[in-house]
Every structure is written in structure tokens, then in C-alpha cells.
Amino acid sequence: MIKLSEISTEAPKGLEKKDIKKKTEKLVARLGELHHLMYAEGKYSMLIILQGMDASGKDGAVRNVFRECTIAGLDLVSYKKPTEEELSHDFLWRVHKWVPQKGMTTIFNRSHYEDILIQRVHNWIDMERVEKRMAAINAFEDLIQFDNNTLLFKFYMHISHEEQGIQLQQRLDDPSKYWKHNEGDWKERERWNQYMEAYEYAINKSTTPWHICPVDNRWYRDYFMAKTIVEKLESLDMKLPQLEK
């Protein structure tokens, strides 16, 4: 049973930023190689889900961690407010159609979890529907793993309330960041505790485990994510197809 308030949002004590950044660089390069191997072999696929509060560094993680990956093998899908057409279907319809085919990697910036997060926090749905949707999510995530060799990574971008305030304020103070400013983010920030409760529910009820990624130090975030993915991919024994003699 995970309690988010008991998990640090910062890099573990004793780590040197400079040292970690060097290691991250190697990991990111290695991820590029492994990703190419996955693409060329066409046996596995990979789905990376990024969920977290506003300003928790999802965009930066995409930019930094995957920068050495083969573009042809990488898709990014950002989930915003559902369209009319999406709302006329079940909540998984808009995500299922973008799951990666064999060989491909897809990053979801936000995901189907929004349908039990923002929708729950605003009481657009009741707990009975939250529970049914959670069961549907578990079945869906099972499906893509057992039936399509999909490696599923779910990262909860764990930011502190204080750090979120700093990041949101920077968007007002720094003209180069103003384009990311959204008044609505400050309104959602007022519901912080409700969001934490909704996230804890999602994390604890998931059958596929989450990675809780501390993001207050952005250099540690990148290291954590790259390391998590590389370690899994290294364990797979992927091989480039070879000409049979």
C-alpha cells in the first residue's frame, strides 16, 4: 500500500548532481541503442505512460530521456480534454487505438488515468464508475502485455506541492516559459489533496505496478526514468535479425 506523502519527491541524499548527469548521459545513449534493437527486431512493443500534476516535468522527461531514440520507432500521444467524438465512446476507445504495434514505442503524455483522476476530483463521475473504470484499465493493460508483447512502464511524476508552486510561478516570471502558463493549473492546484487521494487509489489498485519517480530535482528524474527502462530492456536478450545461412 503506497502512501505518496511517505515517499520523497527529491533525489536520494548523497547523490552528486554532476555524477548523476554523467551516468544519465550514458543511460540515454544506451536507451537509444536498445530502442533501435526493439524497432529492428519487431518482437516487442513499449508503452510509456507519464502521469503527474501540472508542471511535474512530463514534457521535459520526454525531451531528455528519449532524445537518442530512432524517430521512426517512436510516437508521442498527448491526451488533452476529450473531443466530442471521444466522449461519444467508452473512455478507453481513444487510448486503445494508439497503443504501439510490434517494434514501436509509444509515449502517452497523460492517459486513460485522467478518466479516474480529474473526472473523480471534480465529481463528474461517482465512485462506482471509478471502480468499474479501474477494473477496465487493469484488463486493458493486461491485454496489451499478454497479447502483444507490450512492455508497459507507468511513471508517476512525484512532485511536491511546494515545487509545483515554484514551477508554475516561473511560467509567469520567465517570458520564455510563459507559453506554458495556464490559469486553470492554479485552480487545479487548490484540489491538491483530492488529487493525491485519487492518484493513490489508481496506483494501489493497479495490477501492473507504477514507478514513483521523484521529480523535484529534474536531473534525478531523467536518471530514474532512463535507468528503469534500460534495465528492463537489457534483460530481454533482443537480437537483430540475421541472414540465415
- Quote the CA–CA distance of 108 and 213 in Å, as a whole number: 16
Shorter beta-carbon distance to a copy of itself: residue 114 or 185: 114
Query: Which one of the spans 3-11, 130-138, 187-195, 232-240 is the region binding a copy of itself (CB under 8 A)?
Result: 130-138
| Among the listed residues 32, 60, 82, 103, the single contact to a copy of itself using CB under 8 A | 103
The CA distances from residue 7 to 151, 161, 217, 226, 233, in Å, are 25, 13, 14, 20, 26
Q: In what order do the strands lie in the sheet with 74-78?
A: 74-78, 105-109, 45-52, 150-158, 211-214
Segment (H or E) for 74: strand 74-78
- Quote the CA–CA distance of 98 and 17 in Å, as a whole number: 36
Shorter beta-carbon distance to a copy of itself: residue 142 or 234: 142
| Among the listed residues 147, 173, 183, 244, the single contact to a copy of itself using CB under 8 A | 147
Site residues for a copy of itself, window 71-100 (CB under 8 A)? Answer: 85, 88-93, 96-97, 99
Shorter beta-carbon distance to a copy of itself: residue 44 or 195: 44
Asked if residue 50 lies in contact with residue 110, where contact means CB atoms within 8 angstroms, the answer is: yes
- Quote the CA–CA distance of 45 and 132 in Å, as a whole number: 27
Shorter beta-carbon distance to a copy of itself: residue 67 or 96: 96
- Decide if residue 40 touches a copy of itself (CB under 8 A): no
- Decide if residue 135 touches a copy of itself (CB under 8 A): yes
- Decide if residue 29 touches a copy of itself (CB under 8 A): no
Binding-site size, a copy of itself (CB under 8 A): 27
